[in-house]
Structures are given as structure tokens and as C-alpha cells.
Chain A
Amino acid sequence: MAARTFTINDQLISAREGETILQAAREHGIFIPTLCYLDGVSAVGACRLCLVEIEGSRMLRPACVTPVVEEMVVRTDTERLREYRRMIIELLFAERNHICAVCVANGHCELQDLAIAVGMDHVRFDYAFPRCDVDISHPLFGIDHNRCVLCTRCVRVCDEVEGVHTWDVAGRGADARVITDMRQPWGEARTCTSCGKCVLACPTGAIFRRGATVGEMERDRNKIAYIVAAREQRW
């Protein structure tokens, strides 16, 4: 397999052919924030947090789906990118009802971690306070749409790893919601195998194990990638 050499933030690093900027950066300990990205499932480039500047390119490029090209010059941490990332996180906080103090994922939340990483000390946008449902019709798990960021990690892990496609997205724009089956209550979704991979994949407290209380919802997200790797190696 051919290797590629390129520059990130003035640092010369190597990458395997076909690797994305994000993979190469992580291998070298260079932090690029992500939210919709999850090891083990396909990348969709939707959250726009991993956007980087590439010399010679007018557009910002998502690091998660942009392959490394020989001698490419990448910047991951410019003033502009820092400002945009912070705005994206603020938009998320203003969009739904993220109240950390009562959240099962408090302290173990990727959205919370990102807010700290981008230096968000307050939200400059007006909160929308939408009405969102909570579905606890499933005997083991629940989903609180107030905390959902529509990263679609549950949709992808359910489709690509578990192979049942219980989750999908319905509705458009601000009205978009992740749904189970044909928008039935989760407990009535016939395709759900109750495998719990969506619970592992969720970055926030949106999908949780029932019975968990504030701050108790810890998850081992590496398990998804572990399952995928174990499977691929056996084949």
C-alpha cells in the first residue's frame, strides 16, 4: 500500500493511501472536532465540525470524507475555523433543549465535550425551546428528542452494523426527527432487535438505557468499531 506525505498545521505527516485527513490526523494525535463521525460506520460529512482549510481550495473540506493527497497542505485550527466551530455548537445548543444538569449523559457527553473544546462560554443565539417528545415505549431503552443533534449515528449503526434499519430520519430541516420503523413508538417497532448499538453510538443523552439517572449514562463507543473490526478480520 502506497504512502502519502502531507502537511497539517506546518507539521509533515504520513498517511496510508486512501486514508482521510481525519484518520491521518488522529493517528498523529492532531485533534479535529467531530460529532457525526463514528469509527465503524460510514462517514457522512454532515456536522461540519471537522471542516479544514486546504491550500489551493476555495471551499472548506470535511476532514472525515476527504482523502489525503500527496503534498496537500491542511490547516485544522485557524481563527476562522475556531469561530465557525463555536457557532455550530452554539446553534446546536439553541436548537433544542439541552439541559445538562438533568441529563443522563452529563459528564459523558460528546456535545458537552465539544462545547468545552471550542471554548463556548455562552450561547449568542436565542434559544428556540421547541416542543420535543420523549419516547420510553421500549422496555430497555428510551429516546429524548430534546437532546438529539440529528447526527444519524444511530441510523447508520443500526443499518450498517446491526443490519436492520430500524432507525431513519423523517421530516425536514428543524422538523427532522430520528424515527423507528414507520414513525411508530420505539416499543412497537417490529424490526428492532434491542441490540443496543444505537445506545452505544449516541453522542449525547438522546438515546439512553432506561433506569439511568443524571450522569449515569456512560458508554463505550469503541465497541462499535471493535465489532466491525472483529467481523471483518474473521471474514
Chain B
Amino acid sequence: MDLSELLAIAEHENAMRRPICIRCCTALGCQSAGALSVKQRLEEAVAEVDRTDIEVLGVGCMGLCGHGPLVRVDPVGILYEHVRAADAPSIIAALDGGEATAPQGDLQHPFFTLQKRIVLENSGIIDPERIESYIAAGGYQALYHVLHEMTPAEVIDVVTRSGLRGRGGAGYPTGLKWATVAKSHGDRKYVVCNADEGDPGAFMDRSIIESDPHKVLEGMAIAAYAVGADQGYVYVRAEYPLAIQRLQRAIAQARRFGLLGAQIFDAGFTFRIDIRVGAGAFVCGEETALMASIEGRRGTPRPRPPYPAESGLWGRPTLVNNVETFANIPPIIRNGAEWFASIGAETSKGTKVFALTGKIRHTGLIEVPMGVTLRQIVEDMGGGVPEGRVKAVQTGGPSGGCIPAALLDTPVDYESLQRVGSIMGSGGMVVMDDSTNMVDVARFYMEFCKDESCGKCIPCRAGTAQMLHMLDLIRSGQATAADLARLEQLCMMVKETSLCGLGQSAPNPVLSTMKYFREEYEALVRG
């Protein structure tokens, strides 16, 4: 494979396109609502009217998951929502002035217009099951450019100057991580993609993989070249069967096209990717536990340092980045560091993908520039809560916190969210209305953490169990003010002494709800 072949594939693919394109979402959310039969029926309907100017394309996530199955007709730009298979003939008939029986969505709604799509640029547009579709969208050109025209140091420099920070939650500067792995000595190095997304209500990484798997692979390959790795792993949870299937297909296709494996683009660069499927432990999203699991051991974390960059898989330097981080890489290489750094906020560059869920009109996946406010996301894009008022927004999953409605003007960037007692996290955003009891919310997350604690360190294992017990006492009206104080002390202890991020952040939902909604705790407490 060389550049001319790559461009020829793109050209051929584009020449195959028909004037009218009907895109049907086949990501897991829409599939579970019946998208596959919709797609099949659409194909049949096109065949029935014998129109060769129409193509039906299975694509990835279009974003508005709560209104699925979604079908989009281009170039007229019509979005159909809640499409049933029976609607298919009328959608085809509507092309000739008929009336479609499926409700139409508003593509001019802020939900769509306020988005800035970098990670999701191909999502809902290309066919995630065909590598040609990705190549036609410019795919793998960044990898070619990197391998033939840039040194590893130059790649790292671009990523550093772009200001990209880890999208897994902690926001560690990506360029710095890459540079550390590149400088570490080892007879072999590894690149690991963390796709063990486990926060309740989060589905960003799943959608990215289901909608545009090659983009993640290309980002990993560029990273491998930059740090000097020849083997990569995607660690993906078993609960994501479609993502695993599409990754497998994508890896096989890339291998067949010579875009993974030995001598990629004849540039003397070898990189292979294998999939490792998790067994359902949330803690395996923690990088040291994840690596133990890849090595075939019990997935428990170990103290850091040494960090994976220095001593990771089998003791060798290992780069661990999240799905969304890798997906940002090809656009950064293509458009340059300055372009990326011009998007977003002062210390948080680029965009962030959020899974908008909870009590909200428009449930789904959005990608917004860093620095937009929570209010814009919740009220403008999300359309607010269906009934009543917004009470709080939970970000960061079980590691994050609840931000009260009064702080909705907080901009979405790493530092601002931390300042109000939450975190950016991996991108889960759960909206709560005023029917929600915040003690219940804290209890929900604490039960999650208790169930997912691996049991290795005492503060997390025994502490989460005690915190859950104390929350139950409070909820059942058996606790006193002294219990409340003791709960706070225990929270601080678990936060400061736990071995890994799971325990260190497990008290956050309690601490943040106690900070902003203390009256709800006090109302339940005796004397």
C-alpha cells in the first residue's frame, strides 16, 4: 500500500456513491430499537421502486439516541426519528413529494448546531463496517503523512503543542505522556487503548468504536510510531459486543490493506493490534489493573509509581490512552497543532464528547468545544428536563460529583469542573430534576463502588461497605448528626488513603451532594 493506492481507493469509493443517500443508524442504541429491520426494509423499498440513484447506508451514531432509530436522508437533509420498519416505503415515497409516516427531527436544533465534531466527524456519516468508507473520508492519510514525512519527535511535538489532554477523565497532557514513553528504555514497547468504559450512563467510547473504529486504530498506529511500539492492545469490555465485533472487522480489514502489520506504507514500521476483552470488572479501567488483566492475571491495581510509561505491560514501557484520546490524533495530525489549540478553553483544548442522559428531553451523544457552559448543554442542546426544573448535573460517573443548578453557568473544562467539586471524567453527564433525592443518588453511586471495589486495599474494600451502610442508616432515618460527621471523616480517609482511583474518588458523590444538598441529609437525620 502506498499513497496513490490509498487515494485510488478513496476515489473509487466516492465514485460509487449515489446521488441520494439514506443513512440508517446501526449503533447499539438504535439497533436495540429495531434499526436493523428498518435498514432492511429501506433497502427492500428502494429495490421495489427500482431506483438506482438511491443508496441505503448503515452508519454509526447520529447523536440523538433517545429518539432512535434514526434515519437521515441526504442531500435534502431530513432526519426521521423513531422510525419503524413500516415507515420505510413512505420515506422512499417522500423523496418524490409523498408524506413520510415517521416523525421528522429538527436538524437546526441547538442539539446539532452547537456541536463541534472532531472525534465524531465521521460518526453517522461513514459505514463503520467498511474500511473503504473510512479511507474515502480521508482516513489513514494522517498515518501515511506521519510515517513518511515526520520523525517520532515531530509527532510528539505536534501532539504536545495541540494541548490535547487525556479524555479518560484525569486530563493528563497527552504529549507529555507520549514523550515519557518515547524516552523510556525497553526492548519492546506497547500501546494500549483503554475501552473499558464503565461509568453508569456513559457510552462515548462505545459509540466512537461502533461508529468509526478505524479512526481509533489509526490514532493508535500514529502513537505507536511516535513512542516506538510495535504491539497494541485494545482492552474493551465484554458488555460491548457490537463494538468488539466492529473492532475485529476493522483490524482484519486494516491488516488486509497493509495498514496494520509489518511494513505499513513500506516505511519500515511494524504495528499489530490485538483485542483483549474484559470480564466485567469496573476496576479494570484503572490502567494498572487493566494491564494486569491483559497479562492474564487478576485485574487489581498496584501502587504507582512506577507508572506504565516506565514499567507497564510485562515490565515494559507502555502507553495507555483512552479511546477518545486516540480518536483525536488523526485530525490533529491532519489539521495541525495550532488548529486544535485554537478550539476550546484556555487550559482544555479541543472538544469533549458527552453522553447526555437522565431527566432530559434529548438523550444522546454530543461533542462540544471545551468551555461551553453546562447550561448550554443541558438547557439549549438537551432541551431541559421534561417536567419540573433541573436540580443537578452529575458528571464523571462514580468518580465525579453533582453540580447544583445554581452552578449551571460553569464552563466545561477540566479545572472549572474540579473547582465545583466534580470532574470532567470520561464524559458521562446525568441530568437530574427536582424529583430526585440527592441522598439516593449518593447511595446509588456508593453501591456501585462497593460492588466494584476489587478488595485489595482496606480503605476501599471496607470503607465503601461502611459508607453504603451509613447512607442506608441515614435514608432509613436511623442516623444522628454524629453519624453524618463520621461519614464525612470516613469519606476523607477513603479519598486520601485508597490505593487506586476507584477508592480515591468513590467518596466524591457523597462529598459533593453533602456540600450542595446538605439540607437533604439533615432532613433525614435524628436530633
Which residues does A use to contact B, with CB under 8 Å? 44-48, 51, 59-60, 62, 65, 80, 83-84, 87-88, 91-92, 94-95, 124-126, 128, 149-150, 152, 168-169, 171-176
**Chain A residue contacts of B281, Cβ below 8 A:** 172
Known: A44-B302, A150-B461. A173 touches B497 (CB 8 A): no
Q: Of B302, B455, B489, B497, which is within 8 A of A51 by CB?
A: B497
Q: In the bound complex, how far is the Cα of B496 from the Cα of A232, in angstroms?
A: 37
Of A47, A62, A91, most B-chain CB atoms within 10 Å: A91
**Chain B residue contacts of A169, Cβ below 8 A:** 298, 455
| Cβ-defined contact, B303 with A65, below 8 A | yes
Q: Number of residues in B with C-beta < 8 Å to the partner?
A: 30
Q: In the bound complex, how far is the Cα of B453 from the Cα of A94, in angstroms?
A: 17
Q: In the bound complex, how far is the Cα of B489 from the Cα of A46, in angstroms?
A: 21
**Chain A residue contacts of B490, Cβ below 8 A:** 87, 125
CB distance from B10 to the nearest CB of A (A): 48
**Chain A residue contacts of B303, Cβ below 8 A:** 44-45, 62, 65
| Cβ-defined contact, B450 with A173, below 8 A | yes
Sorted nearest first, the 8 A-B pairs with minimum C-beta distance are A176-B455, A91-B462, A173-B453, A45-B303, A95-B462, A48-B497, A173-B455, A174-B465
Given pairs A172-B453, A174-B450, 17 additional interface contacts (CB within 8 A): A44-B302, A48-B459, A48-B497, A51-B497, A65-B303, A88-B497, A91-B459, A94-B462, A126-B473, A150-B455, A150-B456, A172-B455, A173-B450, A173-B454, A173-B464, A174-B462, A176-B461
Known: A45-B303, A87-B490. A60 touches B497 (CB 8 A): yes
Known: A60-B497, A169-B298. A47 touches B457 (CB 8 A): yes
| Cβ-defined contact, A84 with B458, below 8 A | no
Known: A84-B497, A94-B462, A174-B450. A45 touches B302 (CB 8 A): yes
- Jot down 22 A-B pairs with beta carbons below 8 A, ordered by A: A45-B302, A46-B456, A46-B458, A48-B457, A48-B497, A48-B498, A62-B303, A83-B489, A84-B493, A87-B489, A92-B458, A124-B486, A125-B466, A149-B458, A150-B455, A150-B456, A168-B298, A172-B454, A173-B454, A173-B464, A174-B453, A176-B461
**Chain A residue contacts of B302, Cβ below 8 A:** 44-45
Q: In the bound complex, how far is the Cα of B458 from the Cα of A62, in angstroms?
A: 13
Closest to B283 in A: A172
Q: In the bound complex, how far is the Cα of B452 from the Cα of A171, in angstroms?
A: 10
| Chain B stretch 303-352: residues in CB contact (< 8 A) with chain A | 303
**Chain B residue contacts of A176, Cβ below 8 A:** 454-455, 461
| Cβ-defined contact, A87 with B465, below 8 A | no
Of B454, B455, B462, B493, most A-chain CB atoms within 10 Å: B462
| Cβ-defined contact, A173 with B496, below 8 A | no
**Chain A residue contacts of B462, Cβ below 8 A:** 91-92, 94-95, 174
CB distance from B509 to the nearest CB of A (A): 17
Q: Is B469 among interface residues, defined by CB-CB distance under 8 A?
A: yes
CB distance from A117 to the nearest CB of B (A): 16
| Chain B stretch 470-501: residues in CB contact (< 8 A) with chain A | 473, 486, 489-490, 493, 496-499
Q: In the bound complex, how far is the Cα of B457 from the Cα of A152, in angstroms?
A: 11
Closest to B305 in A: A66
Of B458, B465, B489, most A-chain CB atoms within 10 Å: B458
**Chain A residue contacts of B60, Cβ below 8 A:** none
Q: Is B463 among interface residues, defined by CB-CB distance under 8 A?
A: yes
**Chain A residue contacts of B519, Cβ below 8 A:** none
Known: A44-B456, A48-B499, A88-B458. A173 touches B298 (CB 8 A): no
Q: In the bound complex, how far is the Cα of B500 from the Cα of A71, in angstroms?
A: 27
Q: In the bound complex, how far is the Cα of B303 from the Cα of A176, in angstroms?
A: 19
| Cβ-defined contact, B461 with A173, below 8 A | yes
| Cβ-defined contact, B499 with A174, below 8 A | no
**Chain A residue contacts of B450, Cβ below 8 A:** 173-174
Closest to A126 in B: B469
Q: In the bound complex, how far is the Cα of B493 from the Cα of A88, in angstroms?
A: 9
Q: In the bound complex, how far is the Cα of B469 from the Cα of A152, in angstroms?
A: 26
Q: In the bound complex, how far is the Cα of B496 from the Cα of A87, in angstroms?
A: 12
Closest to A89 in B: B458
CB distance from A203 to the nearest CB of B (A): 13
| Cβ-defined contact, B455 with A171, below 8 A | yes
Closest to A93 in B: B462
Known: A48-B459, A65-B303. A173 touches B493 (CB 8 A): no
Q: In the bound complex, how far is the Cα of B466 from the Cα of A95, in angstroms?
A: 9
